[in-house]
A = this chain, B = another copy of it.
Amino acid sequence: MRIGELSRRSGVSVPTIKFYLREGLLPPGELTSPNQAEYADTHLRRLRLIRALIELAGLPVARVKEVLESLDAGDQALHHRIGAVHRALAPSWPPAESADARAEARVRELIEKRGWMIEPDAPAIGTLAETIAVLQSLGQDDLAADLDSYADAVERLAEREVAAVASRPDADRIAESVVVGTILGERLIAALRLLAQEHISARLLGSASGDSRTE
């Protein structure tokens, strides 16, 4: 297929596809003449992945490029690949590192208590510590107090997710699964959580008066 069809099938405009080609997000098509190229289904899938990363995950183009590069890297070990993808997906600004020290200690304590095997420089540690620190600075430590419940829930999910990814037969797409699963999984969980919250709040508080806390 040529660029026009790629555009129609992906819903991305031709100039934007050209832009992604220029930026190196999308590999060039195979040239059939000096100014004619052929694109394959892999281009279509990659393009959809790019759109998901930009639109749904809100990643800046430069970060998308890093993610895709780590995805195409020849590193064979699945575990390391997952680590690389996680690193590429991380927020990048090294977290404030100011008063987060206590929060970070708390995170490392949690990791140790659960016996989690985590590289000490995993970016999620900083993200988590920063989040906890902000929660505390806002006077809302309920959430952070219950870290264990969250860890329980998330550990169960991760078990299924990693198993599902590892069982994929097509080695080529494993890394892609990791990216998609991480990013879209996050969104899926977030949306489901909102729905669950609405349900529970309807059940616990929504019934008659509409205000259960007047006193």
Contact = CB atoms under 8 A, between A and B. Distances in A.
Nearest to A153: B153
A82 B139 CA distance: 19
26 contacts: A45-B138, A77-B206, A77-B210, A78-B205, A79-B202, A80-B210, A82-B198, A83-B201, A116-B196, A124-B194, A124-B198, A127-B191, A134-B184, A140-B176, A143-B161, A143-B180, A146-B164, A149-B160, A150-B157, A150-B189, A153-B154, A154-B189, A158-B199, A162-B201, A166-B205, A182-B194
Contacts of A158: 193, 196-197, 199-200
Contact of A200 (B127, B139, B155, B189): B155
B154 A192 contact: yes
A203 B122 contact: no
A157 B200 CA distance: 10
B76 A210 contact: yes
Interface stretch (A14-22, A25-33, A48-56, A62-70): A48-56
A162 B197 contact: yes
Contacts of A142: 164-165, 177, 181
Contact of A206 (B117, B171, B182, B187): B117
Contact of A204 (B140, B163, B196): B163
Contact of A193 (B134, B137, B186, B210): B186
A101 interface: no
A83 B97 CA distance: 35
A132 interface: yes
- 3 closest A-B pairs by CB: A77-B210, A158-B196, A79-B206
